Amino acid sequence: MISFLGKGKYNETTYSFENKTRRTSYVVHALASFIKPKEVYLIATDEAWVEHGASLGKGILLDIEVPVSNQLMIPTIQVRIPTGGDAQQLWQMFEVIVDVIGTSNCPVLLDITHGFRMQPFFAAACIQYIQSVLPNPPQIRVVYGEYRGPDHESPIWELTPFLEVLSWSRNIMLFLRTGQADGVVEPTEALGREMGRQWAMAGRQGAQPQLRTLSQALQAFSNDFTTIRTGSLLIGNQSSSQRLFGAIDKTSAEVAQQLPALALVLKQVQDMIEPLRTNDERLSSFKGQQALISLARLYQKMGRYSEAISILREGWITLNAPEGCDMPGTNEFNNGARIQHDLQWARRNGTVPDPVAELRNDIQHAGFTQQPHTLIWFEQRLENLLAEWSKAIDDMK
């Protein structure tokens, strides 16, 4: 357990948390008696430690069902932080808090009740940093004790759900930038299971929670997007793009209730995949071609040039392609017919080298030439060819 300790005066009250109460002047004392941590770290300046360390420094007494003389002593450790607020001291404070949270080999409960001035803000920034950078960050809970005076019960509030929203938002933004959804699929799946469990325990009253539908749709889209499974991504009403778009619609009410901060972010996901829906039309059609070039431009926007070039070539070949060549991943797709159509398309300019093939071959050979092309060359060539393909689609309409 990690808590902040200031040098102010702490008055006695009855703190309550998870159906337990404890009368004490210190939130950290009450929490320690509730959760029985292995160790307690108190983030405090030397002045705060001098003021309150005598009552907490020797160890926090945890009430257990044994005689008072045998009460358990838990080690209480001061984590020293500077008193001032200049830039160097603020960075020292940041490093100290990151170190004490990040080096834990067990779950962490962080109490921000007595954080002084900017310390709670620092704690949030440290958690964000740890969860973003460390490969295996500890599980973290955050609580805050609301002091209501000596004659009233003072509740300790669980703030962890807001921490989870930050993590969800961060991972969804990563998905929007890269197409990788693993970071958001797991917590969404876990929350969906928990909501389903609560629904079953409550006697299956009301509509069954559908949040797991969203996690499954996110995973399916991410898998297809990462491996460039064009047919699965785009074709039909059961395409992973359509499934994800529909799953967001289907779960919007649950998301608004359980994770309201995510509603706007999920709208951005819908905006990203909306152009990929073909409305059950073939990829050789105008609507199918629009979806293909939208997919190519999405890869281009993410800086995934190899995938963008692959879709550029295969999508452009599919323009006005005969049946058997334009429905990848379906039973009607004919490999032989596709090969023949591919050869005809490659010879469309006669003996002039195909610029699409040149671009694709260059990136697939991983720069194994004497003078590999630069990123600017790729960006310019790709943009020019996408514009040419887009014009061909417009002419088709």
CB 324 within 8 A of CB 337: yes
pLDDT at 116: 65
Q: Taking the chain (397 residues) in consecutive chunks of 10 residues, what is each chunk's mean pLDDT?
A: 83 91 87 85 82 62 42 67 73 83 88 75 81 84 88 88 77 88 84 82 80 91 95 93 94 82 83 93 94 96 94 93 91 92 83 84 88 91 95 89
How much is the pTM?
Answer: 0.76
CA–CA distance, 151 with 370 (Å, rounded to integer): 81
How much of the chain is helix, strand and coil, in % rounded to 5? 55, 10, 35
> Is residue 103 helix, strand or coil?
coil
pLDDT at 71: 47
CA–CA distance, 189 with 171 (Å, rounded to integer): 14
Torsion angle of C-alpha atoms 255, 261, 267, 269, degrees rounded to 10: -90
- Burial letters for 121-147: b for 16+ Cβ neighbours within 10 Å, e otherwise? ebbbebbebbbeeeeebeebebbbbee
CB 113 within 8 A of CB 154: no
CB 230 within 8 A of CB 314: yes
Torsion angle of C-alpha atoms 159, 125, 259, 132, degrees rounded to 10: -120
Cα separation values, 339 from 105, 325, 330, 345, 350, Å: 56, 9, 16, 10, 18
pLDDT at 367: 86
CB 111 within 8 A of CB 2: yes
State whether the Cα torsion 55-57-58-60 is positive or negative.
positive
CB 174 within 8 A of CB 180: yes
pLDDT at 73: 59
DSSP line for 272-322: HHGGG--TT--TTSHHHHHHHHHHHHHHHHTT-HHHHHHHHHHHHHHTTPP
pLDDT at 217: 93
